[in-house]
Amino acid sequence: LTRDPGDTVVPVLADVSVHRRDLSRRAADWSVGHSGTSTDARRIALVPTRPIMGLHTTLLLLTFGGMANAPEVGTASPEGEPSAPEGRDSRIVIFPIDGSVHSERALSWYLDNMRAPNDHAVFINVIEPVYSSPAFGMSMESPMQPDIARVMESSIASGKKLCQNKMKHAKELALPAEAFLHVDSRPGHAIIKAVGGHHGDVVVMGSRGMGVIRRTFLGSVSDYVLHHSHVPVVIVPPPEEKLFLTFGEMASDGAGPQDAGSEGDKGRVILFPIDGSTHSERAFAWYLDKMRSPNDRALFVSVIEPLHTSHAFGMAMETSTVPELERAMELRTANCKQLCRDKMKQAKEHELPSQAFLYVDARPGNAVVKAVERCNANIVVMGNRGLSGVRRTVLGSVSDYVLHHSYVPV
């Protein structure tokens, strides 16, 4: 461990040595924890995370010498699980980091939009292990074991350096923080496990902005975390050129959505897609409890999917008459208008300035993204129905669509 010039002496709490172990039939993933507090106390600890079956390679296992007697906040417990800060009065914010501009952007967004006085940051860096190609049964040249060892040593050194830099940055911001380095073949899985192990309250991470097709084929850590996390996840997308988007029918009174937010406004415009479900109610309650700022303004958006006759889908069923469709749409519109009025009443009770808009669109996710664009919204806060991966793929998901197409954090 190193210290910055002028700092007080930082005690060395662990002697680190590197050993090789030949794991011909089973390899283990390991995690290196590096934590610190505002008093510069730091500790390194080693805990196993999970086994990997079928990898025929050599991994670097880090072993540690004598540990300091007095435990510090967030250090690894003897049982191998990270301990939570005492008292649990603080909010634990998990930041997956990889040294990219995307993770840097996520941290910057958090500092500008979400930081609270009692927050405690936990930085998680995941290194994917290096192994020879026979592990995949592919016909390519296999690196020699010494080469694999050197690559892993370099990756771990880079990961530790990244964690140290994040800790230094957090100290400059007077933000209590910890940093942990994990070696795992599935980064998303490692992050989810870290969220549970550190008792995280919210995850803030960047998105690389891949297209839907590429995201499907290559996989996405942000997708995995979003679909498997049991705590709220904030995805901060990369800045992209905005497009002018038009709307379908709008059923609102007063100002149009373009008046909801303007470039000169100092306050944030928070967009809430609403549908009367417990999921949207939960999202609004979470915002009020965890994220609200004094100058915020709420924008509630409700989307009605238009009704069609069966011929529009080419299905063999009785065709609804036009009068019946009109009556059904009138009923849906009336219900959604009442929902919008109820949400504005609820916002008024919380002294939160708000507007509500009603849209008719065959693709609700598309309508929400258009509303984000037209209203100059800063953040989208929405609930997730918690569908499984297979059902999400077959039925589609409004939250998935918004996440993949929004230009602002979701």
Tell me what pLDDT residue 209 has: 58
Q: What are phi and psi of 85, to 5 degrees?
A: -60, 140
Tell me what pLDDT residue 187 has: 87
Higher pLDDT, 51 or 108: 108
Higher pLDDT, 128 or 263: 128
Tell me what pLDDT residue 73 has: 31
Give the Cβ contact number of residue 268 at 10 Å.
Answer: 18
Using the CB atoms, write b or e for 279-293: b if 16+ within 10 Å.
bbeebbebbbeebee
Taking 80 as the threshold, does the pLDDT of residue 240 lie above it?
A: no
Q: What is the pLDDT of residues 215-231, one digit of tens each?
A: 333 347 888 888 888 89
Residue 208's closest CA among 84, 98, 102, 315? 102
What are the tokens at 54?
A: 């079928």
Taking 50 as the threshold, does the pLDDT of residue 55 lie above it?
A: no
CB-CB contact of 22 with 53 (8 Å): no
Can you tell me the distance from the alpha carbon of 267 to that of 19, in angstroms, rounded to the nearest whole number?
A: 54
**What is the side-by-side order of every strand in the sheet holding 42-53?**
42-53, 26-36, 177-183, 119-127, 91-97, 202-206, 233-236
Q: Which of 40-44, 57-61, 339-343 has the highest mean pLDDT?
A: 339-343
What are the tokens at 307?
A: 């009704």
Q: Which of 33-42, 80-89, 171-180, 243-252 has the highest mean pLDDT?
A: 171-180
Ordered by where they begin, the domains of the chain are: 16-236 (3.40.50.620), 257-405 (3.40.50.620)
pLDDT-derived band at 145 (thresholds 50, 70, 90) equals: low
Can you tell me the distance from the alpha carbon of 165 to that of 26, in angstroms, rounded to the nearest whole number?
A: 33
Q: What are phi and psi of 280, to 5 degrees?
A: -70, -35
Q: What is the pLDDT of residues 109-133, one digit of tens each?
A: 999 888 988 999 999 998 887 665 5
Tell me what pLDDT residue 131 has: 63
Taking 70 as the threshold, does the pLDDT of residue 71 lie above it?
A: no
Q: For residue 63, how far is the Cα from the chain centroid?
A: 32
Q: What are phi and psi of 153, to 5 degrees?
A: -60, -45
pLDDT-derived band at 99 (thresholds 50, 70, 90) equals: confident
Tell me what pLDDT residue 149 has: 78
Q: Which of 15-29, 305-319, 357-371 has the highest mean pLDDT?
A: 357-371
Tell me what pLDDT residue 50 has: 40
Q: What is the pLDDT of residues 336-376, one digit of tens each?
A: 889 999 999 999 999 999 999 888 888 888 889 999 988 89
Taking 80 as the threshold, does the pLDDT of residue 54 lie above it?
A: no
Can you tell me the distance from the alpha carbon of 114 to that of 129, in angstroms, rounded to the nearest whole number?
A: 34
pLDDT-derived band at 11 (thresholds 50, 70, 90) equals: very low
Q: What is the pLDDT of residues 74-93, one digit of tens each?
A: 333 333 444 445 555 789 99
Ramachandran assignment for 214, one of left (phi > 0), alpha (psi -120 to 50 degrees), beta (any other): alpha
Can you tell me the distance from the alpha carbon of 190 to that of 183, in angstroms, rounded to the nearest whole number?
A: 8
% residues pLDDT > 90 (the chain): 22
Mean pLDDT value across the chain: 69
Q: What is the DSSP letter of 306?
A: P
What are the tokens at 281?
A: 């109610």
What are the tokens at 330?
A: 């009138």
Higher pLDDT, 63 or 286: 286
Taking 60 as the threshold, does the pLDDT of residue 32 lie above it?
A: no
What are the tokens at 380?
A: 């989208």
Can you tell me the distance from the alpha carbon of 402 to that of 295, in angstroms, rounded to the nearest whole number?
A: 25
Give me the mean pLDDT over the 314-332 stretch: 67
Name beta bridge partners: 297: 269
Q: What is the pairing mode between strands 26-36 and 177-183?
A: antiparallel
